[in-house]
Homo-oligomer: A and B are copies of this chain.
Amino acid sequence: MTYMAKPLSCDPPKLRGLSEKLILSHWENNYGGAVRRLNAITAQLAELDFARAAPGFVINGLKREELIATNSMILHELYFDGLGGDGISGGSIDEALKRDFGSVDRWRAEFIGTGKALRGGAGWVLLSYSHRDRRLMNQWAADHTHALAGGTPILALDMYEHSYQLDYGASAEGYVDAFMENVNWTNVARLLQAQAPGERASEFEVWRAIR
Contact = CB atoms under 8 A, between A and B. Distances in A.
Interface of A: 1, 3-4, 6-7, 9, 21, 25, 29-30, 33, 37, 40-41, 44, 48-51, 54-67, 69-71, 73-75, 77-78, 81, 109-110, 112-114, 116-122, 126, 130-133, 135, 137-143, 145-153, 160-162, 165-166, 169-170, 191, 194-195, 200, 203-204, 206-207, 211
A198 to B, nearest CB: 13
Contacts of A49: 109
Contacts of A147: 146-151
Nearest to A124: B149
A21 B169 CA distance: 10
- Of all A-B residue pairs in the complex, the 3 with the closest CB atoms, nearest first, are A61-B61, A50-B113, A165-B165
A130 B66 CA distance: 13
Contact of A203 (B41, B65, B77): B77
Given A29-B120, A133-B3, A207-B9, A114 B149 contact: no
A191 B131 CA distance: 12
18 contacts: A6-B204, A29-B169, A30-B120, A37-B57, A51-B109, A51-B113, A64-B64, A71-B148, A75-B149, A81-B203, A120-B160, A121-B160, A122-B160, A147-B149, A147-B151, A150-B152, A165-B166, A194-B200
Contact of A166 (B119, B142, B152, B169): B169
A123 to B, nearest CB: 9
A204 B81 CA distance: 11
Contact of A61 (B60, B78, B195): B60
A204 to B, nearest CB: 6
B150 A119 contact: no
Contacts of A140: 59-60, 63-64, 66-67
